[in-house]
Amino acid sequence: MSNPIGSFLKGVRVLDLSQYIPGPLGSLMLVDMGADVIKIEPPSGDPMRDLGPRDQAGEALFHRTLNAGKQILRLDLKTPEGAADLLDLVGHADVLIEGFRPGAMQRLGFDHARLSAVNPRLIYCSISGYGATGKQVLKAGHDANYLAEAGVLDRNGDMRPVYFDPPIADLTGSLFAALAIVGALHGRHRTGQGCHIDLGLADVIMPLQMLQIADHGENATVPQRGQTYLNGGAAYYNVYETRDHRHLVVGAVEPKFWQTFSKAAGRPEWISRQGEDLPQTNLINDVAARIAEMTLAENLECFADGDCCVSAVLDLNEALNDGTEQLSARIAHRDLVRLGSDGLLQSLFPARVNDTAPALRPAMRDYLPPTP
């Protein structure tokens, strides 16, 4: 079967020195588009090998998942031999990704200035917590820190701020890194020159809230928890508990959807109330009381019209399996998740090209130097 998306970056060689999630997930997206990725790890391996669950063979499941389709090469960059091997690889690479704190690659002798002298066409992507400039360059942080400091954590949750799973900054950073690299490859066709991409994980949260930032700049608005339509302040965009203590989400933002929802609920008088001031506490309580009269199954039957924008809140097993131990009809039809030849479920690149889904990723493998 043809794999159009897997041909987009054919012939592009990537050296990935990063660890854990952000860099490796970014380079995995490049693998999906056809790039040849060599994952360079220290002699002890990527610390991700010691994090998370194990597969049936006792191997690190997360590490295998993030590095599928890559070649794994262990190098000690602090030794002359390891340094020489890396420099040789850089001379024939298109992209290098590193995820160390700013200054670490310079201390090792592999900063952008040196490597661009070795290979002027190299696209050098640095991913760090707070970026390579500013007062927080060396500050330690993780996803929760970035969300807290960006003003996102404060406005999400009920009685207290609630952290997100999966980690938003880490995953968004991966996608922005891949996007910037693909753009840089396109730009290199015009200039013939590589570049240095400096990406801070704390920075990627800002473009995700560009609408809120524009509103704050214009109107000095500070979104409060449970006060906006996106975080629980609206009846038409909220989560409700059913009689059997399951949960239902209503996303009837547009008036036509709210009208359909209100009629299906047997409460046409709600239609005119959609524009009530936020937070819509009274209307939320009215909707909650109606939803609580029925079980989850009864609610889904009541709002079976797709234009109600009503969904059950599913756990991951339900989302994947439709309760049948088989991949759900929607996921199977879109080829979003498929079983690989190694027996692991793979979440694939979520785009079809010419109505063709991405191919399954091969397992990661040891690096084999090219034949002379």
Catalytic positions are 142, 170
| Backbone φ/ψ region at 264: left (φ over 0), alpha (ψ -120 to 50), beta | alpha
364 vs 58: CA distance, rounded Å:
16
Q: How far is CA 141 from CA 27, 145, 149, 164, 200, in A?
A: 22, 6, 10, 15, 11
The secondary structure of residue 6, as a DSSP letter, is G
118 vs 137: CA distance, rounded Å:
26
271 vs 255: CA distance, rounded Å:
8
* Beta-strand runs (E) in 216-364: 237-241, 247-251, 310-312, 337-339, 345-347
| Residue 94: both structure tokens together | 């298109």
Q: Which residues contact 251 (CB under 8 A, 6 or more apart)?
A: 236, 237, 257, 309, 310, 311
